[in-house]
Amino acid sequence: MLSPKRLTYRKRQRRSYCGLRENATRGNNISFGEFGLVAEAQKYLTARQIEAARVAMTRHLKRGGKVWIRIFPDVPYTKKPAETRMGKGKGNPEMWIAPVQRGTVLFEVAGVPADLARRAMELAASKLPVRARFVQKAHA
């Protein structure tokens, strides 16, 4: 699963969708592949969800073509243990999350036909908690 190699700080403040409410201004264009999967809402995606979507997509492509993952879970998600009283500081990091804005390209694919790419992206989108749509690169 995806996780950063090292961090400046072990625990980070996580605002409640503070910067996520706006549309994405970076990472909102298809840069590497021919087809993409674009988020239609803001959400935090966990490393497990991203990995599940990647596995579903690559299995449908039968290891053909090239897949790019355009998001990375680099925000630690902390949680207090079960049946613990309030207070006594912040909990320990449990998992990694990636904040996703509306319009962010999540995955890109190249080297496969459009219908195969569309079906693979639909399978990947079904694994994610955010609504996503299939887009094709505009050839100029």
DSSP 37-61: EEESS-EEEEHHHHHHHHHHHHHHT
Q: In the prediction, which pLDDT does 64 show?
A: 87
Q: In the prediction, which pLDDT does 105 show?
A: 96
What are 26-64's pLDDT values in tens digits?
A: 889 999 999 999 999 999 999 999 999 999 999 999 988
**Phi, psi dihedral angles at 117 (to 5 degrees):** -65, -40
pTM of the entire predicted model = 0.91
Tokens of 76: 């630690």
Under 8 Å between Cβ of 66 and 109: yes
What are 64-110's pLDDT values in tens digits?
A: 899 999 999 999 999 999 999 999 999 999 999 999 999 999 999 99
Which residues, 6+ apart, have CB-to-CB distance to 56 below 8 Å?
120, 123, 124, 126, 127
